[in-house]
Amino acid sequence: MENSTVISIEQCCIYYKIETDFVLKLDKHGLLELSKSQEEYFISYEQLGDLQKYIHLHYDLDINMEGLEAITYLLDRVTNLQNEVKKLQNELNQG
Which residue ranges form the domains of the chain, and what is each CATH number? 3-94 (1.10.1660.10)
Q: How far apart are CA 30 and CA 26, in angstroms?
A: 6
Q: How far apart are CA 3 and CA 25, in angstroms?
A: 23
Read off the pLDDT band of 95 (50, 70, 90): confident
* pTM confidence score: 0.84
- Return the pLDDT at 4: 61
**Structural contact between residues 9 and 43, judged by C-beta atoms closer than 8 angstroms:** yes
